[in-house]
Amino acid sequence: MNDPGTTGAGGTAEGKDYRSGFVCFVGRPNAGKSTLTNALVGQKIAIASDKPQTTRHVVRGIISRPDGQLILIDTPGLHKPRTLLGERLNDLVRDTWSEVDVIAVCLPANQRIGPGDSYLVEQLAHLRRRPTLVAIATKTDLVSGERLREHLLKIQSLEAELGITWAHIFPVSALTGDAVEALGDVLLGMLPQGPMYYPDDEFTDEPEEQLVAELIREAVLEGVRDELPHSIAVIVEEMSMRADRPEDRPLLDIYASMVVERDSQKGIVIGHKGERLRDVGTAARHQISHLLGVPVHLDLKVKVMKDWQRDPKYLNRLGF
Ligand SMILES: Nc1nc2c(ncn2[C@@H]2O[C@H](COP(=O)(O)OP(=O)(O)OP(=O)(O)O)[C@@H](O)[C@H]2O)c(=O)[nH]1
């Protein structure tokens, strides 16, 4: 991702000292990743619903400065996979981690570093291509100087324990703003020289649509697995950012169809007075919105394609 020759999205670097690249904040739930993202990004960005054309990754925020651009990438957490989708999501997370320039591990100062944190760092140690690693001690406002010192030493000891090297160990409070600006400087300083990437993409790439289709399918199957195990497919007909939205309130419109094989199945999927369809829509919308990091409007219809599983024309259309 850090080769400006192949990844530029058409933007221009402002002089030869211009740095740009991709940073991913990781850490256990509640570690303070979102709050820190918002603090770093402050007023200076368009909270990104958009992504640079060069990547399939979810952009969480963009910090643009005269001397560079830092693009914060979002990934879901790693979870014990129970389904193929779960495995693919984990693969996607690891792929993303291998491609960014810097991974910043958020370790809240008010909590002991535990097995979950070690597991995460171990996963980073085993990536096929390991980016620069930074440790961020978050929420420093919640602890005493003594406790913070202990926390920082513990973070440092992970190096020997897990076979990694921190390029920096950085204490910060997103709440008070303490050291946030300095963290931005440090992160930007670690990026390679590169182009100004610009977020002007419209979520058109195929893999993302497939992922969305699968999230919808999972939501549908949740309620009807026994009744209709294999009869449901999902087509994402259209996916685009809604025009004319304020920059800080983006909305992604998704038009999708659930495909069933028979008229009788249509009723099952829709449910009494459309209740099931509404529930599925709500569940899927939350999942998609979480994955893509942008609020979603989901328009879900049900279509009957007679015996689609045996019809090559339908199968092609459904991407099998
Ligand atoms: N005191 C204090 N609280 C903080 C700070 N940063 C975050 N918090 C609080 O910690 C909680 C979790 O913060 P988030 O930013 O949502 O954490 P997250 O890592 O994004 O959480 P997930 O989305 O669950 O992964 C929230 O209640 C924040 O207000 C900080 O610097 N100081």
**How many domains in the chain?**
2
Residue at 197 is within a domain: no
The finding on whether 120 has its CB within 6 A of some atom of ligand 1 is no
Structural domain of 43: 4-189
Task: List pLDDT tens digits, range 53-88.
Answer: 333 456 667 787 888 888 888 776 676 666 776 677
Residue 7 has pLDDT above 50, yes or no: no
Residue 169 or residue 248, greater confidence:
169
The ipTM estimated for the assembled molecules is 0.98
The finding on whether 143 has its CB within 6 A of some atom of ligand 1 is no
- Give the number of the atom of ligand 1 that is nearest the alpha carbon of residue 77: 25
Task: List pLDDT tens digits, range 208-254.
Answer: 777 788 788 878 877 666 666 567 888 888 888 888 888 888 899 99
Predicted local confidence at residue 212, as pLDDT: 84
Task: List pLDDT tens digits, range 172-192.
Answer: 999 998 999 999 999 999 999
Residue at 200 is within a domain: no
Predicted local confidence at residue 122, as pLDDT: 92
Task: List pLDDT tens digits, range 270-296.
Answer: 888 999 899 999 999 988 888 777 899
Q: Do 284 and 235 share a domain, yes or no?
A: yes
Q: Do 86 and 130 share a domain, yes or no?
A: yes
Q: Do 93 and 185 share a domain, yes or no?
A: yes
Structure tokens at 52: 């640079």
Task: List pLDDT tens digits, range 191-204.
Answer: 999 888 754 332 23
Q: Do 235 and 288 share a domain, yes or no?
A: yes
CA of 33 to the centre of ligand 1 (A): 6
Residue at 185 is within a domain: yes
- Which residue(s) pair with 298 in the sheet? 254
- Give the number of the atom of ligand 1 that is nearest the alpha carbon of residue 176: 31
- Give the number of the atom of ligand 1 that is nearest the alpha carbon of residue 27: 19
Residue 249 or residue 147, greater confidence:
147
Nearest-CA residue for ligand 1 atom 2 is 139
d(CA 298, CA 254): 5
Last residue of a domain, one of 189, 220, 243: 189
Q: Do 100 and 210 share a domain, yes or no?
A: no
CATH number at residue 73: 3.40.50.300
30 labeled binding residue: yes
Q: Do 177 and 241 share a domain, yes or no?
A: no
Of 35, 93, 107, the one to substitute when testing ligand 1's pocket (max ligand atoms within 8 A of C-beta) is 35
Q: Find the helix or strand (DSSP H, E) in which 295 lies.
A: none
**Per-residue pLDDT averaged across 50-55, rounded?**
35
Q: Do 64 and 126 share a domain, yes or no?
A: yes
139 labeled binding residue: yes
Q: Do 172 and 226 share a domain, yes or no?
A: no
Last residue of a domain, one of 163, 189, 215: 189
CATH number at residue 220: 3.30.300.20
Q: Do 140 and 210 share a domain, yes or no?
A: no
Residue at 199 is within a domain: no
Q: What is the pTM of this model?
A: 0.62
Q: Do 223 and 148 share a domain, yes or no?
A: no
- Give the pLDDT band of residue 138 (cuts 50, 70, 90): very high
